[in-house]
Structure 1
Amino acid sequence: MIELQEGVIPEIEVTKPYALVAITKHGVQKARQMLQDFPHVDLYYMEKFEHGDEQAKGIQLFKGTVRLLLPALFKKYKGLILIISLGAVVRMIAPILEDKKKDPGVLVIDDKAEHVISVLSGHIGGANALTHEVANVIGAKPIITTASDVQKTIPVDLFGARFGWVWDSDEKLTPVSAAVVNEEHVAIVQETGETNWWMHDTPIPSSIKQYQTIEHAIEAKPDAALIVTDRILERDEEVILTNGVIYRPKSIVLGMGCNRGTSFDEIEAVIDETLAELKLSKKSVKALVTIDLKKDEQALIDITNRYGWKFVTYTPGQLNEMPLPNPSETVFKYTGAYGVSEPAAMRYANTSDLLLEKKKSGNVTISIARLNFC
């Protein structure tokens, strides 16, 4: 709990580049939903709206007027997303503004989440680009009031953000961004994830070239690279990261079954071990799916809460609609479904292919599918 007091800069925990703040009941509901779909934010809201799961989700509660929280956020974050009225925001930030080269980007969302308004540092602070991304995430209208918008290209730190993509490391964000802005040769390799990431009404700049494979991109010797993949790169591919950023799309679905009362630690160990075997990134996991008999399985609930994954369950009838590579009469006897982990993963991923057919490990059964983005 953050106790806000006049004249005291509060201690905050910064884990993401952007802060999301809400102060009303409806604003908090929208902010909690955004947290699932836009993983680049630290969320703050008033303690009177506490749900009880804030610590597990990394949400920071505060007590007192939000005006006293903003100075700390201003100093620590690249941008602020405030579900607060525009007039109130203008009054609160006026005393703490410094310089357009230093101030973070600030944008405002109305309480019904119908509009996203770029308020401060639209160009240099990146608020205009952030406004477009957030508006896409929540289905709102972006409001940009600057006379001329920034160069229509890729905002490297927000690339794919509307889809929940995250970068592996921020080490090369600045030099790669410079290469994009300076119209140097930038390679894009996309192995999975949403393909409709270009958001402008103009063609992609000729300096940005798309390649079918990392090998082809390496051969082209670009000045910078954007790599969209859920794979752990092979050693001979890592040269592309000399000045490159890896983006992790939410493309992996974990189909799971487990014995009642299986521990969190055992389930996490199986997930980590299996992803490592397949050379897949944990950051690309989108959902953990299972049969509805497991909708109250505490360890499954806890692990999806910890990592912000979707937790989806299906009825036996829904699972039996899927083509099964390994149907089991024993599983049917106890659950009414001929399989759990395999059909659940295929159903959510909208595919009949599996990256991993069911694997039994201790009390856990796991299957893995890749989302079909077509």
Structure 2
Amino acid sequence: MDTENSTAFVVIREEGLKIAKTLKNSLGGVIFAKSGIEGDGLVHFDRLRELFEKLFKSYRRIIGIMATGIAVRMVSGLMESKYKDPAVVVVDEGGRFAISLLSGHEGGANSLTLHISSIIGCQPIITTATESLKRHVVGIGFRKHTTKNQIKEAILKALNMVNIETCDVRFISTCWHKAGNSSLIDASSELGLQVRFLPRFLYENELYNFKESTAEKYLGVKNIAEASALLASFNPKLILRKTVFDGVTVAIAREGAFGL
């Protein structure tokens, strides 16, 4: 087995291998594949339950490319404590959803789910109460040399305009081009918010008619702030259209589950 802090990917059908390899390229770790699945660098297993028993003891993050029901049966009886259990995230073989299944907060499954969604563009499913009650997504765009304070102040001013607190925000959303930007990461950390970076192909979906902005000149996509807020939300409605604060563009979407 690998070190305690590594990531294990579990693939039970060949259809899930491409997703596992894509995630491994960004997250690192080891791919465990059902015997009969061919590929380089795979660790094969025969019995899924026995594998999960071993992974629970040696890995801190387990990503299963499989149905949620299978994963639930595999972790049943293995759980000890939310402070000890590894983060478990399930991704469907179609790459449409990433579900935070176990150890959402303490184990980091919630943040891992967002990270996965940033890599493959799937919908993150997080059901812990503190996250699922938050109904707002902040979309943001800014230039390369924007400072942490500029970003932080822009977000706070935007939220104030629509009478929303940071505790009502599910996460900040922006484009792939900003992944790893220290100013954004530091600003979001000070605000107590997470960031979801959306892959390029989502912005190029012809089903959406996003308004053009300067982003088209620099990134080749029409819009960042409004598009990021809408693309990262469920049944969204813009409650703040793109607004510029000291060079930082912010848009806010409210998710409308059950028409609320």
Q: TM-score, normalised by structure 1?
A: 0.36
Matches within 5 A, 1:230-249: none
What do the CA deviations read for 1:302-327 (whole angstroms, capped 9, x no partner)? Answer: xxxxxxxxxxxxxxxxxxxxxxxxxx
Pair 1:107–1:206, CA change in 2 (3 A)? closer
Q: Amino acid of the residue matched to residue 41 of structure 1?
A: G
- For residues 103-118 of structure 1, the aligned pairs below 5 Å read 103-118=85-100
Alignment partner of 2:12 out of 8, 23, 33: 23
* Contact residue 19 and residue 80 of structure 1 kept, 8 A: yes
C-alpha deviations, 1:4-35, integer Å up to 9, x for none? Answer: xxxxxxxx344861111110111122212322
The number of aligned residues is 148
Residues 30-179 of structure 1: pairs in structure 2 closer than 5 A: 30-36=19-25, 38-51=26-39, 53-54=40-41, 59-62=42-45, 64-149=46-131
Instruction: Note closer, same or farther for the CA distance 1:198–1:94 as it changes in structure 2 (3 Å cut).
Output: farther
Cα distance change on mapping 1:203 and 1:16 into 2, 3 Å: closer
CA distance in 1, matches of 2:9, 2:23: 9
Q: Distance in 2 between matches of 1:93 and 1:140?
A: 23
Looking at structure 2, the residues matched to 43 and 203 of structure 1 have their Cα atoms a distance apart, in angstroms, of: 34
1:180 match:
none
Q: CA deviation at 1:95?
A: 1.0
Match of 1:333 in 2: none
The share of aligned pairs that are identical, in percent, is 32
Q: Unaligned regions of 5+ residues in structure 2, if any? A: 133-175, 193-260
Is contact 2:65–2:92 with CA below 8 Å preserved after alignment?
yes
SS in structure 2 of the partner of residue 69 of structure 1: helix
SS at match of 1:19: strand
Aligned to 2:188: 204
Does structure 2 retain, via aligned residues, the 8 Å contact 1:16–1:42? Answer: no
Shift of 1:65: 2.0
Q: Which consecutive segments of 4 or more residues in structure 1 shift more than 2 A?
A: 12-16, 32-36, 193-208
Residue 41 (structure 1) shift: 1.9
> Any unmatched runs of 5+ in structure 1?
1-11, 151-192, 209-374
- TM-score with structure 2 setting the length: 0.51
Distance 2:58 2:189 in 1: 33
Higher RCO, Cα 8 Å, sep 6+: 2
Deviations 1:221-259 (A, max 9, x none): xxxxxxxxxxxxxxxxxxxxxxxxxxxxxxxxxxxxxxx
Code of the aligned partner of 2:58: K
Cα deviation per residue 1:42-99 (whole Å; 9 max; x = unaligned)?
1111120123x22xxxx3122x221110011011111110011111111111111111
| Cα distance in 2 for residues equivalent to 1:41 and 1:201 | 24
Which is higher, the Rg of structure 1 or of structure 2? 1
CA distance in 2, matches of 1:18, 1:149: 24
Assess if the C-alpha contact under 8 Å between 1:135 and 1:141 holds in 2.
yes
| Alpha-carbon distance in structure 1 between the residues aligned to 2:56 and 2:33 | 16
Aligned AA for 2:38?
Answer: E
The aligned amino acid for 1:49 is I
